[in-house]
Amino acid sequence: MEISRKNKTHYLVTGAAGFIGSHLVEALLARGHKVLGIDDLSTGRMDNIRHLLSCGRFSFARSSILDPVVLDRLASKASIIVHLAAAVGVRLVVEQPARTIETNVLGTEAVLKAALRYGCRILIASSSEVYGKGNRIPFQEDDDVLLGPTYKARWGYAASKMLDEFMGFAYMREHGLEVVPVRLFNTVGPRQTGKYGMVIPNFVHQALHSEPLTVFGDGSQSRCFCYVGDVVEAMIRLSSHPDSPGRVYNIGSTDEISILSLAEKIIKATGSHSPIHLIPYDEAYSPGFEDMKRRVPDISRIHELVGWEPLVGIDEVIERVVTSYCR
Binding residues for ligand UDP (CB under 6 A): 90, 186, 197-199, 202, 214-216, 221, 223, 259, 291
CB of 138 to ligand UDP, least distance (A): 15
Helix 228-240 and helix 19-30, axial crossing angle in degrees, nearest 10: 60
Which residue number, 112 or 204, has a Cβ lying nearer to ligand UDP?
204
Q: Are 252 and 184 in contact (CB under 8 A)?
A: yes
3-state class (DSSP) for residue 278: strand
CA 152, distance to chain mean position in Å, is: 22
The answer to whether the bond into 245 is cis (omega within 30° of 0) is no
* 255 within 8 A of 313, measured Cβ to Cβ: yes
CB of 266 to ligand UDP, least distance (A): 11
In 3D space, the residue among 120, 146, 123 whose CA is nearest the CA of residue 251 turns out to be 123
Helix axes 259-270, 314-326, angle to 10 degrees: 50
157 is catalytic: yes
Nearer to ligand UDP, 181 or 219 (CB): 219
Candidates 157, 171, 196, 285; catalytic one: 157
Nearer of residues 57 and 195 to ligand UDP, judged by Cβ: 195
Q: Kindly state the smallest distance separating residue 20's Cβ from ligand UDP, in Å.
A: 14
- Give me the phi and psi of 277, to 5 degrees please: -110, 130
Inter-CA distances, 207 with 71, 147, 327, Å:
41, 34, 16
From the list 302, 324, 214, the residue with the least C-alpha distance to 250 is: 302
Q: Report yes or no: 37 and 17 within 8 Å, Cβ to Cβ.
A: yes
How far apart CA 59 and CA 33 sit, in angstroms, is: 12
User: What's the min distance (Å) between Cβ of 293 and ligand UDP?
Assistant: 9
- Minimum Å gap between C-beta 178 and ligand UDP is 29
Residue closer to ligand UDP by CB (options 59, 261) is 261
Residue 70 or 257: the one with the smaller Cβ distance to ligand UDP is 257
Q: How far is the CB of 207 from ligand UDP (least distance, A)?
A: 11
DSSP 297: B
Q: CB neighbours of 170 closer than 8 A, spacing ≥ 6?
A: none
Q: What gap in Å lies between CA 13 and CA 25, rounded to an integer? A: 7
Which residue, 172 or 199, is less far from ligand UDP as judged by CB? 199
Catalytic residue annotation: 157
